[in-house]
Structure 1
Amino acid sequence: MKLGIYTAVLFLSFSSFCFSQEDVEKPAPPAGNALVGDFYGADISTATINNAISVDKLEDKLKESSKIENIAVKGEVTGVCPKKGCWVSVKTDGGSSFFVKMKDYAFFVPTAAKGKNVVLEGSVERKVTSVEELKHYAKDAKKSKAEIDAITMPKEEIRFMASGIKVVN
């Protein structure tokens, strides 16, 4: 009897280790229309929204310091991770974009945020992103194999770590 119980417990313990992360279904981005006033992560106060800087000023500030903590930036979302909503890209005034990750992977945004104006609160830095990481994000964005294979050089870019994102006018 005891042998049967021990065998069952051992089997259940072993089988739980046999499932990989890929076997577990990954969640989709949250539902929602990303309407003005909606926020993801920490809510952003009206005072912070009113004092948010534009993206062109952010680029100027990053010329003075490679990393800035506790900053609020206003911009337009140009892309959202279609897998989970775990990152967004925001358009710069010069026409390029910068990458935004969610602090501690604590929240996600709906794909409906694309094209919306937002205020981001968090920290920002200039960073060199590895080829491996760039390919990972391209795969998440459902780029073609040819586009992914074309990534062969690391890229220096602006990286924002958001503690909160709020949709604004």
Structure 2
Amino acid sequence: MKYFNIFLIIFSLLFGCKEVKTEMKTPTEAEESPSFVLAGAPLTDGVIYEQSELGQVFADLKPGDSLSTRFEAEVAEVCQAKGCWMRVNLPNDESVMVRFKDYGFFVPKDISGKTVVVEGRAFISEVDEDERRHLAEDAGASDSLIAQIRGSEFENGFEATGVRILQ
């Protein structure tokens, strides 16, 4: 019986640790082309707000409101830990915090300064002190700047379902 148990353990190890092959899906021409790279879901057809128009979209929103939309803007900064969020510029030195639906995809960490087209849901949210400090840390802020963050504040938010990174 002792040898039978040893045989079962060895047999389980040999056949239980087989390599699982996953098929890499190649992007279609619509998903990735020389002019852009797609992260998340493909974008739908429709109106794309310019960066200058986006300021008015957020000016019309109140906390608790949301609006499904798509817009084009320049990336100001990206999470340097994973690429799990980005901040894009608005007119008048404002910005929009863009996060990705269900933490389902990330963007490259080196796209600051590039233009993106983002589709999803725009809203105004209250961000507490702990979250603001966490975001500053992810962005690579110094300890002295992080220590200066106090209290919560309302900010422009966006939950993206898809992002086109223009080349």
State the TM bucket, normalised to the shorter chain: 0.7 to 0.9
Consecutive unaligned residues in structure 1, runs of 5 or more = 2-34
Q: Distance in 1 between matches of 2:101 and 2:36?
A: 20
Corresponding residue for 2:68? 70
1:135–1:148 Cα contact (<8 Å) kept: yes
Aligned CA distance change for structure 1 residues 106 and 88 (closer, same or farther; 3 Å): same
1:56 to 52, 57, 64: 52
Consecutive unaligned residues in structure 2, runs of 5 or more = 2-33
Corresponding residue for 2:39? 40
% identical aligned pairs: 30
Deviations 1:101-134 (A, max 9, x none): 0110000000122111111100011111111100
Deviations 1:41-75 (A, max 9, x none): 01224x33xx2112332332333333333200110
Q: Distance in 2 between matches of 1:155 and 1:144?
A: 20
1:72–1:120 Cα contact (<8 Å) kept: yes
TM-score by length of 2: 0.73
Measured after TM superposition, the shift of residue 160 of structure 1 is: 0.5
How many residues matched? 134
Amino acid at match of 1:44: L
Deviations 1:5-58 (A, max 9, x none): xxxxxxxxxxxxxxxxxxxxxxxxxxxxxx73101001224x33xx21123323
* Larger fraction in helix: 1
Pairwise CA RMSD = 2.0
2:141 alignment partner, SS class: coil
Corresponding residue for 1:84? 82
Q: Distance in 2 between matches of 1:82 and 1:56?
A: 27
Which of these two proteins has the greater Rg computed from alpha carbons? 2
Aligned CA distance change for structure 1 residues 163 and 126 (closer, same or farther; 3 Å): same
Corresponding residue for 1:99? 97
Q: Distance in 2 between matches of 1:80 and 1:42?
A: 19
1:137 alignment partner, SS class: helix
Aligned CA distance change for structure 1 residues 144 and 65 (closer, same or farther; 3 Å): closer
Q: Distance in 2 between matches of 1:147 and 1:166?
A: 32
